[in-house]
Structure 1
Amino acid sequence: MEKKIRCPKCSKIFTCDGNPGEEIFIKCPNCGTEGKIILEKIETIESKSLVVIENISKKYKDVLAVDNISFNIKQGEVFGYIGPNGAGKTTTIKIMVGLLNQTSGEISINGYQLPKEKEKAHRFIGYMPQQAGFQQWRTANHALTTFGKLSGVESDKLQSRIDEVLNLLGLIKYKNKKITKLSGGTIQKLGIAQALLHNPSLLILDEPLSGLDPDSRYQVKKILKELSKNGTTVFFSSHILSDLQDIATKICIIDWGRVIKIGSLDELKSEFSKEKQIEIILSKKSDKYNEISKISGVKKLIEQSKEKFIVNIEKTSDSDKIIDEIIKTLIEKNCKIRSITPLSPTLDEIYQFYLRKGVMNQ
């Protein structure tokens, strides 16, 4: 069997082969670290929670910024942390990276307790704050060299690692450009670059897609998905649910410092209560589609044009059966059908639904 493992010294991910339960000799191709490992232990490592947060609260005088939140993040997950501005996202992140101490509760990163063992935990964390704080007079390479040294990247490998990360993010052409000459989106991607330099197990990104154009957003999301496939755990915050679409394996919605809902996007959709809707587009104008309203289970017709309308169906009705009846009725009335599409709730509708639900439960 083939398994990906991470070097404990340089964090490089590489592949080894062997049989379950077999003790094998391994050597990191990056730094040369040698050792032995039992393959069945790797199974346990892959399935364990890299981040464990239990009943964390943070209070500033009379303000409770984070209120008794709990969640686990497994290795390789892309964990989307979403909520409106002021919900407690950045406070949570600052606790996770050791910039703030929690008022109560427990947090561990790769088994190390924070804040007591934060120096050990920091080796596994790559962090990009909302504002990376690059000094404007530096070049991109100069800035990344400083960050690389602070992150513990070996001096003789630092420049090659900088080139590797810049190529990954499509920034190599800006290597010797001054920060002051770079666009806001490029500086944002440079912030992600500095977080990746030491090849961390856990990447913590605060609003990483903010300020990026559509193409850059797509490229960054693609890179994060690839990092996840290779075993890197990604935690990133946003106040826009669409940022998490097609990338987050788990989503946590937070508001007023409290966790409102945790689950995959499909799980969030499954609890969303909304009337079933079907969009029908005809190839030619017709008034005869009104006959559809007589079908049992059809609640309402919403005309958007003479060719396009929405059918609202009772929640408890059999959608497939009703769609079949609709098609038969339209054909009988000589209406030519261009398309029939079941409508799903939009991401914004889902997000707003859970935020309203959270407010009502306070």
Structure 2
Amino acid sequence: MMKKPVVHITNFNLKFQDKYVLKDLCWTINIGENWLLSGESGNGKTSLVKAIANLIPNYGTVEINFNPASHLAGVVHYVANWYQFKDLEGQSNFYYQQRYNKQVASTTNSVGSELRHFGQQNQLKPDTLNPILAALDFENLLAATLIELSSGEHKKLQLIKAIWLKPQLLILDLPYNGLDSASRRNLNLLLDHLVEDGTQLILISNETEMPSSINRFAKIESGKLVETAEMQHLADLFTEVEKPLPAFFGKKQWPSVKSHLIKMIDVNVSYGDKKVLKNINWEVKAGEKWALQGPNGSGKSTLLSLICADHPQAFANNFYLFGNLRGSGESIWEIKERIGLISPELHWYFDPSATVWQSIVSGFYDSSGLFCEPGYTKRLQADELIYFFGLDDYKNTLMSQLPLGKQRLALLGRTIIKNPELLILDEPCQGLDQQQTFHFNKLIDELCKNGTTLIYVGHFESQLPDCIEKRIVLENGEVQAIENILETVSNA
């Protein structure tokens, strides 16, 4: 007797703005199959797997068949790319700087309490959690509150729960976003062990890294699911598309600054006995292009928060920004006016009720959403960026209604619209497909030709712009290396 497939989808349809994204899609997942699903951002991948997990209404037939004889949990567990957490009163209206305010950090649960609650809810054995925590280097974070975690640490917390649960079907949406290289390798080993124990996987990813247990590949094309061979699957994703740079970017040349743009002298940040940054010495001169790297939890986000005037401990340190000692009279908004920032945390706390156009224009005012009427020139620049990023059809769409990759493109437009003196790009390509990543990094290369100073955080070496010339590496809050990348490459 033939066994039923684990997942059987027939005639699945999905519309967005009266246009079909998925049309009469069919997909059968048999026992022993572990799938990697890829394709362009916004083509319906996430909606499809959410339907399998019964998280959105089904517009078609989605049949799930669990094995009643299995010792694994008879559930579909979906790990979203986007982590949503609430405070102790069940609210999620956090603000961006709240993570660095220790007086309000206690409004969210601790990591340990969150995991204990999850374990009790799903009747999991506490002793089976420890090896997972060790593999993802998470044991030292049990006392931290949820709002204190970085984006990479939030991703790890999601993954730890999923692996501890051991579901019969595990769906991971962009699981490698925000993870350092060691964590990605260990995650793949953990997933392979899960598969050996009977779990089946569906991964949404455009990365070449994947568990060795992945044995089926597919992409979505013209609303249908198309199975591919591995090499074809990776090669077909990328086609180069060139667009002219919006004209207003060429109109500003930053003046030559002889002194440092950023200078940190023995900078420290600590919360009680916990030292987050330890004796940081770092100088960034005007026009330099830096990569900021290090493992999850190494202090990168805290370092950037000092530069962006979001961290109150900046005033307690010997720290110069744009040639001025912090706390010597400049306002937070005078600093922010000269900086363009994007980060996963900024995206988390951004106003989801703003439209794409409003979100991009808000970059002129460093606000989360738009609260004033912009002038003609600002409106024109926003329209140019919307065309450049291919967001014409979404101009008046709410951010909350967009696929994650499209949201990120809109926020990238917001970051660069004022052509800032200092660009800080913290994992800017999370959620983008390979073509969008290539397109964005080419834009950064062009922007930086006019003297813009750049700090770029990225865990994937392949996703760095070509213009990067220097690197600072943090580990456990300390500087492990400062090096010239160009010299490293030429001597390799």
TM-score normalised to structure 2 length = 0.44
Q: Distance in 2 between matches of 1:153 and 1:204?
A: 26
Q: Distance in 2 between matches of 1:72 and 1:153?
A: 38
Counting only pairs closer than 5 Å after superposition, residues 113-152 of structure 1 correspond to structure 2 as: 113-116=325-328, 117=330, 118-131=332-345, 132=347, 133-150=349-366
Q: Distance in 1 between matches of 2:275 and 2:416?
A: 32
Q: Distance in 2 between matches of 1:69 and 1:261?
A: 11
Question: Are the structure 2 counterparts of residues 56 and 171 from structure 1 closer, same or farther at C-alpha, using a change threshold of 3 Å?
Answer: farther
CA offsets, 1:150-195, max 9 Å, x none?
4699633221121133334343442222213322122122222112
- The amino acid that maps onto 1:208 is P
The secondary structure found in structure 1 opposite 2:344 is coil
Residue 87 of structure 1, CA deviation: 0.6
The secondary structure found in structure 2 opposite 1:261 is strand
Question: Are the structure 2 counterparts of residues 153 and 265 from structure 1 closer, same or farther at C-alpha, using a change threshold of 3 Å?
Answer: farther
Match of 2:169 in 1: none
Q: Distance in 1 between matches of 2:290 and 2:378?
A: 29
CA contact (8 A) 1:11 1:201 kept: no
Residue 245 of structure 1, CA deviation: 6.1
Identical pairs, percent? 26
Q: Does 1:49 align with 2:263?
A: no
Match of 2:317 in 1: 105
Question: Are the structure 2 counterparts of residues 102 and 150 from structure 1 closer, same or farther at C-alpha, using a change threshold of 3 Å?
Answer: closer
Residue 266 of structure 1, CA deviation: 4.1
Q: Does 1:162 align with 2:401?
A: no
Q: Identify unmatched segments of 5+ residues in structure 1.
A: 1-9, 16-40, 272-343, 345-362
Q: Does 1:62 align with 2:62?
A: no
Q: Distance in 2 between matches of 1:155 and 1:110?
A: 28
CA-based RMSD: 2.9
Residue 227 of structure 1, CA deviation: 0.9
Question: Are the structure 2 counterparts of residues 78 and 88 from structure 1 closer, same or farther at C-alpha, using a change threshold of 3 Å?
Answer: same
Q: Distance in 1 between matches of 2:380 and 2:399?
A: 20
CA offsets, 1:85-133, max 9 Å, x none?
1010000011110110336532222223324424432221112121323
- The amino acid that maps onto 2:377 is K
Match of 2:230 in 1: none
- The amino acid that maps onto 1:88 is G
TM-score normalised to structure 1 length = 0.58
The secondary structure found in structure 1 opposite 2:456 is strand
CA contact (8 A) 1:221 1:247 kept: no
The secondary structure found in structure 1 opposite 2:317 is strand
Q: Distance in 2 between matches of 1:77 and 1:56?
A: 21
CA contact (8 A) 1:52 1:108 kept: yes
CA offsets, 1:309-344, max 9 Å, x none?
xxxxxxxxxxxxxxxxxxxxxxxxxxxxxxxxxxx6
Q: Does 1:196 align with 2:408?
A: no
The secondary structure found in structure 2 opposite 1:259 is strand
CA offsets, 1:258-315, max 9 Å, x none?
11111122444689xxxxxxxxxxxxxxxxxxxxxxxxxxxxxxxxxxxxxxxxxxxx
Higher normalized strand content (fraction of residues): 1
Match of 2:402 in 1: 182
Q: How many residues are aligned here?
A: 236
CA contact (8 A) 1:153 1:197 kept: no
Higher Rg of the two aligned structures: 1
Question: Are the structure 2 counterparts of residues 178 and 265 from structure 1 closer, same or farther at C-alpha, using a change threshold of 3 Å?
Answer: same
Q: Distance in 1 between matches of 2:373 and 2:325?
A: 24
Match of 1:347 in 2: none
Q: Distance in 2 between matches of 1:167 and 1:11?
A: 14
Q: Distance in 1 between matches of 2:465 and 2:423?
A: 18
Match of 1:79 in 2: 290
CA offsets, 1:14-64, max 9 Å, x none?
47xxxxxxxxxxxxxxxxxxxxxxxxx95xx25543222222111011111
Q: Identify unmatched segments of 5+ residues in structure 2.
A: 1-247
Question: Are the structure 2 counterparts of residues 149 and 245 from structure 1 closer, same or farther at C-alpha, using a change threshold of 3 Å?
Answer: closer
